[in-house]
A and B are shown apart, each in its own frame.
Chain A
Amino acid sequence: MSLDLLRFTAGLYAVAAAGYLLYFARPRYTLAARVGGWFLSGGVVVHLAAIGLACKEFGGLEWFTLRGGMVLTAVLLAGAYLLVQRFYHLPSVGAFVTPLTLIILLPTLFGEGGAPGVAPAALRHPAITGHIMTASLGVALFGLAFGVALMYLLQEREVKGKRFGALFSRLPPLGSLDKLTDRLVRIGFLFFTVASIAGAVIARSVWKSAWSWDPQQVSTLAIWALYGGMVQLRHLGWHGRRYALLTVFGFAILMTSIVTLRSVPGLTMHAGEYKGPNTESNK
């Protein structure tokens, strides 16, 4: 049931993406961007309903697998974009972010069942919902920053190369994109930090030690340091192209690490393959 709803959500996102892309290709059709906005909002609502339903079905929001994480990240990414749009009004960003949302959501729609891999009882800790939500939100914001940074790089190529064509006129000014990337990275980093702290607290109570050289922990720390370093570099005056490259690079690493950790069996005890009581539904 929740999987059907998710598929419906993906349909709504696809229409939204088409609307935003049409607006990007033909800026005269401002209606297309508005329609995109409506469908995206509708998609988020249905998406949340699907998540709610899945919670009832699978007994909790403490989703543990790649599939669960992606479902959460996609809705947060779409929601974060809708929020950003309220303040910045850059509908052309939608043409980059909405397809990204769809790409993140699509792999979760196939394969057997829709079990998001709820955390086993052994891991149930009061902080775990907060941990998963803040981590997903951090990833979503980094994803949004990634989309905006890509736009920056594209626009920079046009402006610097004196190609004053369609892209030049449709992409927002470099200054605005740069500022937006920075803010998204900062807020994302904040949530990521909270998620890491919560994770350490949970690890301490479950495994009796906050640090255990688990690949998940190592890569999380590395990514946290990477984004922390970016915030630092910003203070040291890094702007523009370099910063955009870093943002794109950071997100690529983040995605690679998430996908690898979750899809290679037995690599980390944080993945759905955690062997413990009540782990029949882990795919």
Chain B
Amino acid sequence: MSGRGLFLVGLSHKSAPIEVRERVALNGADLKAALQQLRASQGVEEAFVVSTCNRVEVFVQAEGEEAARRFFTSRAEQAGDHLYVKAGADAVRHLFRVAASLDSMVVGEQQILGQVKEAYGLASGVEAAGSYMSRLCNRAFATAKRVRTETGIGRGATSMSQVAVELVEKIFGDLKGRTILLLGAGKMGALSAKALQVLGADRVLVTNRSPERGQQLAAQVQGTFRPWADLHQLLVEADVVIVSTGAPSYVLTAAMVRTAKKQRRHRNLCLIDLAVPRNVDPACADLEDVFGYDVDDMQKVVSANHQARQGEAQSAEAIVEAEVLAFTRERETRAALPVLVTLRLRAEAIARAEAERTLQKAGAALDDRTRASIEAMASAIVNKLLHLPTVRLKAAAAVGESALAGAVAELFGLDQAQPPPGGRRAPLANGATTPGLPPPEKDDQ
């Protein structure tokens, strides 16, 4: 059997260990070369490759998946054991799920959509991806956008420093004019401070027991270094204190915060303790206008958010399903409509002409009712005869298989019909005698 369809061959963090993934992952010039090679393979019409650290997936519009499979086995022999192969609507669904970040390690993470976009850009740049892939990918991007806006899948921080930033935002709202104090030179603290600066906090103060490291860190986060001895004054000035020292005990005690509070009036103070063992006395958080969080609190948020994302994933799957259906339907009509319409018009014209001839011959011998039923019979024959071909043509076209439509066009001599892309090349007899193809997927080969 011949006829083109969409195939996906790939491996991901779910099917293959990192040792295998790193041997088949490609980027830049290597990827371009591989795409050109794929495109040049026998029977491949279009191709595009998504290659990230978590997945390598080859999408081809081709007569079979062999070329795509070779992409992997030629690079790493053992990759063959980890591959998954999908065809037709399954392949479409997979791409939509990947783009919508439903197949990611951290469900709902935002990077993957950009990576898929980049992959498509690269493939269309070397003309490996053509009109079919363009429609497919654009639909995938639209699906991803819908999922992001209509579900909460991307909501909620999934790392500690993100949680810290989220908390600070919930307390202060606008960070403009707020002061961040970094207490200690831990790396996590610096990360969070950077994130807060991005959100508009314009003043970062750094203090550390050893001035050298403190000054270093201050330069790194574009803050001001202040000596450790100023700690009391710093507690008065700061709105957010991020603590990450290596001290084995409390660096901030409730007594210190209480003293600072007298000068702070009722301004809110947020204490974020990123150290283990803890550096901030938990009793601080009981004081009025003081909000204190430690590593455990934030870890809880992270895992809760992971769970929430899983829940949102269900509504996201429904969106993906609807989009897959819409895409295949669209393909269906796009590919099959011209041929179907011409075929039907032709058949109806013949039926009408024959019915008229019969009626003319009979002349006045027939009454109006009999005439009407003869006309009805003619169009009923057309409908019955064309019903199954219509269904089959739509089903075949739904998965991008255009040979059947091409064959029908050839067989019935529907010259004005616009066969779908590449359709005319399909061999004559084959498509027409294709024994009842049950809908999508497992059609060709």
A residues with a Cβ closer than 8 A to B are 28, 155, 159-160, 162, 164, 168-169, 172-177, 179, 236-243
Q: Give 24 CB contacts A-B under 8 Å.
A: A28-B152, A159-B170, A162-B293, A164-B301, A173-B169, A173-B171, A173-B174, A174-B172, A174-B268, A175-B171, A175-B172, A175-B173, A175-B268, A179-B173, A237-B264, A237-B265, A238-B266, A239-B265, A239-B268, A239-B289, A240-B268, A241-B266, A241-B288, A241-B289
Is the CB–CB distance between A160 and B170 below 8 Å?
no
Instruction: With A162-B297, A164-B304 as known contacts, state yes or no: A240 contacts B266, CB within 8 Å.
Output: yes
User: Considering only CB atoms, which chain A residue lies closest to B156 in the complex?
Assistant: A169
Is the CB–CB distance between A176 and B173 below 8 Å?
yes
Residues of A close to B301: CB separation below 8 A: 164
Interface residue B150 (Cβ < 8 Å from any Cβ of A): yes
Interface centre among B151, B156, B266, B288 (most CB of A within 10 A): B266
User: Considering only CB atoms, which chain A residue lies closest to B167 in the complex?
Assistant: A159
Within 236-292 of B, Cβ neighbours of A (below 8 Å) are at: 264-268, 285, 288-289, 291
Contact of B151 among A28, A176, A237 (CB under 8 A): A28
Residues of B close to A238: CB separation below 8 A: 265-266
Residues of B close to A164: CB separation below 8 A: 300-301, 304
Instruction: With A159-B167, A164-B301 as known contacts, state yes or no: A174 contacts B173, CB within 8 Å.
Output: yes
Residues of A close to B266: CB separation below 8 A: 237-243
Residues of A close to B289: CB separation below 8 A: 239-241
Query: What is the CA–CA distance of A177 and B172 in the complex, to the nearest angstrom?
Result: 9
**Within the complex, what minimum Cβ distance (angstroms) separates A68 from chain B?**
38
User: Considering only CB atoms, which chain B residue lies closest to A165 in the complex?
Assistant: B304
**Within the complex, what minimum Cβ distance (angstroms) separates A260 from chain B?**
32
Interface centre among B172, B264, B268, B288 (most CB of A within 10 A): B268
Residues of A close to B156: CB separation below 8 A: 169
Residues of B close to A240: CB separation below 8 A: 266-268, 289
User: Considering only CB atoms, which chain A residue lies closest to B293 in the complex?
Assistant: A162
Is the CB–CB distance between A168 and B170 below 8 Å?
yes
Beyond the given A174-B171, A236-B265, A237-B266, please list 20 additional residue pairs across the A-B interface where CB-CB is below 8 A: A155-B170, A159-B167, A159-B170, A159-B171, A159-B291, A164-B304, A169-B155, A172-B173, A173-B171, A173-B172, A174-B170, A174-B173, A175-B172, A175-B174, A175-B268, A176-B173, A237-B265, A239-B266, A240-B266, A240-B267
Within 170-229 of B, Cβ neighbours of A (below 8 Å) are at: 170-174
Residues of B close to A243: CB separation below 8 A: 266
Residues of A close to B291: CB separation below 8 A: 159-160
Instruction: With A239-B267, A243-B266 as known contacts, state yes or no: A173 contacts B170, CB within 8 Å.
Output: yes
**Within the complex, what minimum Cβ distance (angstroms) separates B137 from chain A?**
26
Question: Can you list, as one digit per residue, whether each of B146-157 has a CB less than 8 Å from chain A (1) or not (0)?
Answer: 000011100110
Residues of A close to B171: CB separation below 8 A: 159, 173-175
Within 392-425 of B, Cβ neighbours of A (below 8 Å) are at: none
Residues of B close to A179: CB separation below 8 A: 173
Within 95-152 of B, Cβ neighbours of A (below 8 Å) are at: 150-152
Residues of B close to A28: CB separation below 8 A: 150-152
User: Considering only CB atoms, which chain A residue lies closest to B297 in the complex?
Assistant: A162
**Within the complex, what minimum Cβ distance (angstroms) separates B315 from chain A?**
9
Residues of B close to A159: CB separation below 8 A: 167, 170-171, 291
Residues of B close to A162: CB separation below 8 A: 293, 297, 300
Query: What is the CA–CA distance of A177 and B300 in the complex, to the nearest angstrom?
Result: 26
Query: What is the CA–CA distance of A50 and B272 in the complex, to the nearest angstrom?
Result: 54
Residues of B close to A176: CB separation below 8 A: 173-174
User: Considering only CB atoms, which chain B residue lies closest to A162 in the complex?
Assistant: B297
Is the CB–CB distance between B265 and A160 below 8 Å?
no
User: 8 closest Cβ contacts across the A-B interface?
Assistant: A237-B265, A175-B173, A173-B173, A176-B173, A175-B172, A239-B266, A173-B170, A238-B266
Query: What is the CA–CA distance of A262 and B159 in the complex, to the nearest angstrom?
Result: 57
**Within the complex, what minimum Cβ distance (angstroms) separates B149 from chain A?**
9
Query: What is the CA–CA distance of A147 and B300 in the complex, to the nearest angstrom?
Result: 31
Query: What is the CA–CA distance of A243 and B288 in the complex, to the nearest angstrom?
Result: 12
Query: What is the CA–CA distance of A173 and B266 in the complex, to the nearest angstrom?
Result: 17
User: Considering only CB atoms, which chain A residue lies closest to B265 in the complex?
Assistant: A237
Query: What is the CA–CA distance of A31 and B267 in the complex, to the nearest angstrom?
Result: 36
Residues of B close to A172: CB separation below 8 A: 173
**Within the complex, what minimum Cβ distance (angstroms) separates B281 from chain A?**
16
User: Considering only CB atoms, which chain A residue lies closest to B263 in the complex?
Assistant: A237
Interface centre among A240, A242, A243 (most CB of B within 10 A): A240
Contact of B267 among A155, A168, A173, A237 (CB under 8 A): A237
**Within the complex, what minimum Cβ distance (angstroms) separates B293 from chain A?**
7
**Within the complex, what minimum Cβ distance (angstroms) separates A171 from chain B?**
9
**Within the complex, what minimum Cβ distance (angstroms) separates B298 from chain A?**
10
Residues of A close to B173: CB separation below 8 A: 172-177, 179
Query: What is the CA–CA distance of A246 and B149 in the complex, to the nearest angstrom?
Result: 39
Query: What is the CA–CA distance of A236 and B265 in the complex, to the nearest angstrom?
Result: 8
Residues of A close to B285: CB separation below 8 A: 160
Query: What is the CA–CA distance of A159 and B169 in the complex, to the nearest angstrom?
Result: 11
Residues of A close to B288: CB separation below 8 A: 241-242
Residues of A close to B264: CB separation below 8 A: 237
Interface centre among A162, A173, A176 (most CB of B within 10 A): A162
Query: What is the CA–CA distance of A237 and B300 in the complex, to the nearest angstrom?
Result: 34
Question: Can you list, as one digit per residue, whether each of B314-354 has a CB less than 8 Å from chain A (1) or not (0)?
Answer: 00000000000000000000000000000000000000000
Residues of B close to A169: CB separation below 8 A: 155-156
User: Considering only CB atoms, which chain B residue lies closest to A172 in the complex?
Assistant: B173
Query: What is the CA–CA distance of A104 and B306 in the complex, to the nearest angstrom?
Result: 43
Interface centre among B151, B167, B170 (most CB of A within 10 A): B170
**Within the complex, what minimum Cβ distance (angstroms) separates B320 from chain A?**
17
Query: What is the CA–CA distance of A239 and B265 in the complex, to the nearest angstrom?
Result: 8
User: Considering only CB atoms, which chain A residue lies closest to B305 in the complex?
Assistant: A164
Query: What is the CA–CA distance of A243 and B267 in the complex, to the nearest angstrom?
Result: 11
User: Considering only CB atoms, which chain B residue lies closest to A171 in the complex?
Assistant: B170
**Within the complex, what minimum Cβ distance (angstroms) separates B238 from chain A?**
15
User: Considering only CB atoms, which chain B residue lies closest to A180 in the complex?
Assistant: B173
User: Considering only CB atoms, which chain B residue lies closest to A30 in the complex?
Assistant: B149
**Within the complex, what minimum Cβ distance (angstroms) separates A239 from chain B?**
4
Residues of A close to B265: CB separation below 8 A: 236-239
Query: What is the CA–CA distance of A236 and B171 in the complex, to the nearest angstrom?
Result: 21
User: Considering only CB atoms, which chain B residue lies closest to A176 in the complex?
Assistant: B173
